[in-house]
Amino acid sequence: MFEYEFMREAFIASTFIAITAGLVGVFVVSRNMSFLSHTLSEIGFAGASFGILVGISPLAGMILFTLVSSIAVGSLSSESSRREASISAISSLFIGLGILFLSLSSESSSYATNILFGSIVGISSKEVQQLMILALFVIFVFIIFYKPLAFDSFDHIGARAAGLKTRLLSIAFLVTLALSVSIGAQIVGSLLVFVLLTLPGATAKYVVHTVPKLIMVSVGLSLIGVWLGLYLAFITNWPVTFFISGFEVIAYFLGLSYKNWKLNH
């Protein structure tokens, strides 16, 4: 398998994607922002389509759209009564824009498939380097803001009472979330990138209870999911997204079953 350059590049890229998604996903779940990762994935689809239309890379288009939208959409999280309808409206709008941009571009329909479902064949060395730089930036931001961000994510009221700048922390988190969506979509596609950003973190909370352990379990599940997905996709020629999402869903229900078993014994 590793005799093929595209598989080597895919494994390197997927490793950084998994680490980033697993790390960010813990805070996505703790901050109850799973809905936002799903919305940003659809906004990312429109951004990638826009990039193709204007002649820039799909990744650059994704980053542009998700960065601008993340903070605006994230502000809706405080309006729980209007959240569901607002998010549905925004998601529908950007899916429509993505389809419009693709229809106006001169590229083939295969580009739409790659954007929506990811591609292990189309990852080049240059794109791997870009993903690594973005992933390292996200990790660096989390290292800097780790303690206050963890405090704010798991005890928001206490963080505000302690005088932390929760607004700044929220913006920093939304930026890293937007970048994580753009990074992860390169392998699993914009349609299912939220799987990596929600399920490993949600599974981890069923089996461990401290923040460092949550991060370790979440990152571990993300790594196993993408590595196993790439391997099974190589030997079967089935979509890598199917195997990654299938593994994460199974892991989630196993974690949920373990929690229920612990509660009953």
Q: What is the pLDDT of residues 72-85, one digit of tens each?
A: 766 665 555 555 66
Name the nearest CA neighbour of 43 among 177, 212, 236, 144.
Answer: 177
Positive or negative torsion for Cα 250, 256, 262, 265: negative
What does the block give as tokens for 7? Answer: 């598989």
**All residues at 6 or more sequence positions from 140 whose CB lies less than 8 Å from its CB, including other chains:** none
pLDDT of residue 241: 85
What does the block give as tokens for 69? Answer: 């939208």
Percentage above 90 pLDDT, the chain: 36
pLDDT of residue 56: 86
Question: In what helix (H) or strand (E) does residue 65 lie, and over which residues does it extend?
Answer: helix 58-74
How is residue 70 annotated by DSSP? H
CA atoms of 165 and 167, how far apart (whole Å):
6
Q: Does residue 247 surpass a pLDDT of 70?
A: yes
pLDDT of residue 82: 54
Give the pLDDT band (50/70/90) at residue 109.
low
Share in percent of the chain as helix, strand, coil (round to 5): 85, 0, 15
Q: Does residue 18 surpass a pLDDT of 80?
A: yes
| CB distance 214 to 23 below 8 Å | no
Give the pLDDT band (50/70/90) at residue 263.
confident
Per CATH, which fold does 5-264 belong to?
A: ABC transporter involved in vitamin B12 uptake, BtuC (1.10.3470)
Averaged pLDDT of the chain: 85
Give the pLDDT band (50/70/90) at residue 38.
confident
pLDDT of residue 74: 62
* Digit-coded pLDDT (tens) for 164-214: 888 888 888 888 988 898 888 877 777 778 899 999 999 999 999 899 999
**All residues at 6 or more sequence positions from 123 whose CB lies less than 8 Å from its CB, including other chains:** 6, 9, 10, 13, 186, 187
**All residues at 6 or more sequence positions from 78 whose CB lies less than 8 Å from its CB, including other chains:** none
pLDDT of residue 156: 86
Give the pLDDT band (50/70/90) at residue 107.
low
Any idea which of 11-15, 54-58, 183-187 has the lowest mean pLDDT? 183-187
Rounded to the nearest 5 degrees, what angle is found at the Cα of 152, between the Cα atoms of 146 and 147?
A: 20
* Digit-coded pLDDT (tens) for 117-169: 776 666 778 878 888 999 999 999 999 999 999 999 999 889 889 888 888 88
pTM for the model stands at 0.88
Q: Does residue 252 surpass a pLDDT of 90?
A: yes
Q: Does residue 260 surpass a pLDDT of 70?
A: yes
For residue 141, how many other CB atoms are within 10 A of its CB?
Answer: 17
CA atoms of 65 and 55, how far apart (whole Å):
15
